[in-house]
Amino acid sequence: MTAIWHPLVPVYSCRLNNLFYSFISIRFFTLRRATERLHNLSAFKFLLMPTRVNPVQLLVLLCFPLLFTSCLKDECRNKFTIYQPVYKSLSSVRKEMGFTQARKMERPGKIYQYGAYLLVNELWKGIHVFDNTNPASPRKLGFINILGNVDIAIRNNVLYADSYSDLAVIPVSNWTEAKPVTFRNKVFNDGFVSWGNQTNPDSVQVIVDYVERDTIVDCATYTTWSRCPNCMVADAGGRPVFVNAAAAAPVNGVGGSMARFTMVNDYLYTVTQSELSAFQVTDPLNPVKSSTQNLGWGIETIYPFQNKLFVGSNTGMFIFDLGNPATPARQGAFSHVRSCDPVIADGFTAYVTLRSGGTMCGGTSNQMDVININNLQTPFLVKTIALQNPHGLSKDGNRLFVCDGLAGLKIFDVQDERDPKLVQTIGGLGTTYDVIAQDKIALVVSDQGIFQFDYSNLQAIKQISKINLN
Amino acid sequence: MRLFILLLLLFPFVWLQAQDSSLARQHKISFSSVTQIGLLEGQAGLAFQVQTVNGIAVGPWQLGLGTGIDKYGVRSVPVFVQAQYGLPVLDRSFSVYLDGGRSFTWPEQSLQRAYATEQNGWYWDAGLQYQFKGKRAAGPVFSLGYSGKTYGWEENMDVQCVRAPCPGYHTAYKYIYRRISLKAGIKL
């Protein structure tokens, strides 16, 4: 073996080190000597022979590059969308409201069932109307243009819809002629500051659309508020959620558990983020606001059952008695950890789903609480069932349907209503948000569209139709 | 920088291949399996990895399919193709390898977001492997390489704002992780 010597390094007998330092020598020796070595292949014959390597030296050699890991930089890029609002006067917006031809479904919001009709809110834009006489093949009838709309409720062919901070009254005995006939101004004040001190709708400017612009920045330059221009509070509980509830009277429509509007007898009850309001609709086209109560921030849903109202909030469930329907009286409350929480009730049991993931709702719980409401003054927790990301829920007979986000639609057996047992999960629906189960048909809204399931045979629940987005 | 490292790794291979006429004629096909555990070190710190590569060896070449667990940044399962060439030095104890494939994101509980969609990315690794060769073909191996993976997630939700209607909220993150990969294991 030819030993290679270099004044900068000690002499090693290890051939591996010889190999290593031979490369070093090419770097440090004169070019002439290095060239000689390259041409004298015999000098490299040792490389082709079997050899043994000192493991410690090898390990040191392999670990050497770890000294340079500080040179490695990870990279993170954040793409977000900046929204520039487009304004229009409220008067001109109101003139454009009414029934128009069917349009694409892009951001489905709340769903509402009224007789043979299925209504789907297009978030902030209006309502898609479907003829659902045959649930296996729902037919698009048209679209009711109501800018600023999120919630609806129907009674006796009169549709009540929010439009920005106002309540719009729309007769719908003939869908094609649906057009607002009455407005109640400034009745919903949370999140709508359009009116300000104005009294004339000509002077009120409302946002009708947004111009979107994508921006890419380094993650380090991005901050919480800059990522959501125009937003003060982020996320009320996810993408197109919000579904309506209504009383069970035959002339009323039926909604889901995530409603903010509901009808009980001659009253329309609404909740905003902090207020519960009652409107008397004895004269259907001229609703009169009879009361407003401040419930504190974080109110989310309202659900009627047996002359009671169950109001879901970020921090608990409130129960109101409708002995005096014009002014609901608070009767009891059940507190839970901070979380988004739709609620439904049946008999002596209430079901509350708690979910995380909303920066406004807060909390980390993902579960369904079963609450004993036998004594409405002192409801108490009976059981907690862990779920993935539960949203809306609906009960029909001894079956409880729960939308569990991406995990799909979960069906529980509630023969023992205090001890729900999971019997089936239907996945592959996208992120499910709310469900209305009625007359053996379950309407499910998700970010992929509206699904309808026939559950007349509980052992073989089958999908019978799907209304796609776009 | 990545190209420079690749060239640096390929240089000895190309140079020595030219002088390896006798070994190049060997074409015996055999099964090859390497299972290693190791560490990944980069800006995000130190992380554990484990992987196995199984395939065939033809002369100085080895071609295999690999998979494992990569816990750097966000946990993922790389599934990749590996090409390896035994350098004609020291009885082919040294080899260079190149991995490339998909990185399937497998986030741990703490990384899950309710309205976010995790996205899979790409995985690559290139480096040098040393096998201790005794009397048998099987033996312990050490690997050192430059490795990377990409990962992303998107979030779509509605928001509440001061002045409704509120705009939607969409954001997307793309990460590129660059690390030094050090592995030790056994070759069968």
Averages of pLDDT over each 10 residues, chain A, 470 residues: 33 36 41 46 45 63 68 84 82 94 88 91 92 93 93 92 92 94 86 68 83 78 42 29 27 72 90 89 92 84 86 83 91 68 78 69 74 84 89 88 91 90 91 87 89 90 88
Q: Which of residues 120-149 of B touch A (CB under 8 A)?
A: 130, 132-133, 142, 144
Cβ contact B163–A72 (<8 Å)? no
**What is the pLDDT at residue B64?**
95
Asked if A50 and B133 come within 8 Å (Cβ–Cβ), the reply is: yes
pLDDT at A353: 85
- Rounded to whole angstroms, how far apart are CA atoms A23 and A20? 6
Are residues B164 and A192, on separate chains, in Cβ contact within 8 Å? yes
Which among B41, B130, B157 has the least Cβ separation from residue A238?
B157
Decide if A9 touches B, using CB distance below 8 A. no
Measured between CB atoms, which of A70, A74, A240 is closest to B176?
Answer: A74
For helices A31-39 and A15-28, the axis angle rounded to 10 degrees is: 140
Model confidence pLDDT, tens digit, residues B20-31: 545 445 567 889
Amino acid at A263: M
A199 or B78: which carries more pLDDT confidence? B78
Q: What is the distance in angstroms between the Cα of B166 and the nearest Cα belonging to chain A?
A: 7
Contact criterion met (CB < 8 Å) for B173 and A210: no
Average pLDDT, chain A: 77
> Which pLDDT value is given to residue A14?
33
Asked whether the beta carbons of residue B44 and residue A49 sit closer than 8 angstroms, the reply is no
Do A357 and B115 count as a contact with CB atoms less than 8 A apart?
yes
CA dihedral for A328, A332, A334, A335, sign (positive or negative): positive
Give the per-residue pLDDT at A209: 82
Predicted local distance difference test score (pLDDT) of residue A364:
63
User: Which of A66, A230, A358 is closest, CB to CB, to B182?
Assistant: A66
Please name the residues in contact with A240: beta carbons below 8 A apart, sequence gap of 6 or more: A107, A108, A109, A123, A433, A445, A447, B158
Q: pLDDT, tens digit, for every residue of B4-15?
A: 555 545 544 444
Per-residue pLDDT at B44: 84
Distance from CA of A133 to the nearest CA of B (A): 31
- Report the mean per-residue pLDDT for chain B: 81
Tell me the residues of chain A between 405 and 444 that have a Cβ less than 8 Å away from chain B.
Answer: 405, 431
Q: Which CATH class is domain B2-17+31-187?
A: mainly beta
Residues in chain A with CB shorter than 8 Å from the CB of B182 are 62-63, 66
- How far apart are the CA of A163 and the nearest CA of chain B, in angstroms? 10
pLDDT at A8: 32
User: Does A288 contact chain B (CB < 8 Å)?
Assistant: no
> Is the CB of A63 less than 8 angstroms away from the CB of B182?
yes
User: Which residues of A are less than 8 Å from B172 in CB distance?
Assistant: 78-80
| A227 part of contact set with chain B, CB < 8 Å | yes
Determine the CATH number of domain A80-468. Answer: 2.130.10.10
Cβ pair B38, B46 in contact under 8 A: no
Set of chain B residues whose Cβ sits within 8 Å of the Cβ of A58? 130, 142
| SS3 per-residue string spanning chain A | CCCCCECCECCCCCHHHHHHHHHHHHHHCCHHHHHHHHHCHHHHHHHHCCCCCCHHHHHHHHHHHHHHHHHCCCEEEEEEEEEEEEEEEHHHHHHCCEEECCCCCCCEEEEEEECCEEEEEECCCEEEEEECCCCCCCEEEEEEECCCCCCEEEECCEEEEEECCEEEEEECCCHHHCCCCEEECCCCCCCCCCCCCCCCCCCCEEEEEEEEEEEEEEHHHCCCCCCCCCCCECCCCCCCCCCCCCCCCCCECECCCCCCEEEECCEEEEECCCEEEEEECCCCCCCEEEEEEECCCCEEEEEEECCEEEEEECCEEEEEECCCCCCCEEEEEEECCCCECCEEEECCEEEEEEECCCCCCCCCCCEEEEEECCCCCCCEEEEEEECCCCCCEEEECCEEEEECECCCEEEEECCCCCCCEEEEEECCCCCEEEEEEECCEEEEEECCEEEEEECCCCCCCEEEEEEECC
Query: Chain B 21-40, CB below 8 Å of chain A: which residues?
Result: none
Contact A65 B73 (CB under 8 A): no
Which residues of A are less than 8 Å from B136 in CB distance? none
pLDDT in tens, B81-131: 999 998 877 677 889 999 999 999 887 765 555 567 788 999 999 999 988
Tell the residue number behind the tokens 């509007």, with chain if given: A261
Which residue in B133, B156, B180 is closest to A69 by CB distance? B180
Q: Which residues 319-348 on chain A approach chain B with CB closer than 8 angstroms?
A: none
Closest Cα to residue B85, out of B127, B22, B137, B25?
A: B127
- The position carrying tokens 């996208």 is A430
Which has the closest alpha carbon to A262: A320, A294, A303, A230? A303
For residues A285 and A156, is the Cβ–Cβ distance under 8 A? Answer: no
Cβ neighbours of B19 in A, within 8 Å:
41, 44
**CB of B38 closer than 8 Å to CB of B29:** no
Stretch 392-411 of chain A: residues touching chain B, C-beta under 8 Å: 405
Give contacts of B166 with chain A, Cβ < 8 Å.
124, 191, 230-231
List, by residue range, all CATH 2.130.10.10 domains of chain A.
80-468
If you count residue pairs, one on A and one on B, with CB atoms under 8 Å apart, how many are there? 178
Domain ranges of chain B: 2-17+31-187
Distance from CA of B82 to the nearest CA of A (A): 20
The pLDDT tens digits of the residues spanning B24-68 come to 455 678 898 999 999 999 988 899 999 999 999 888 899 999 999
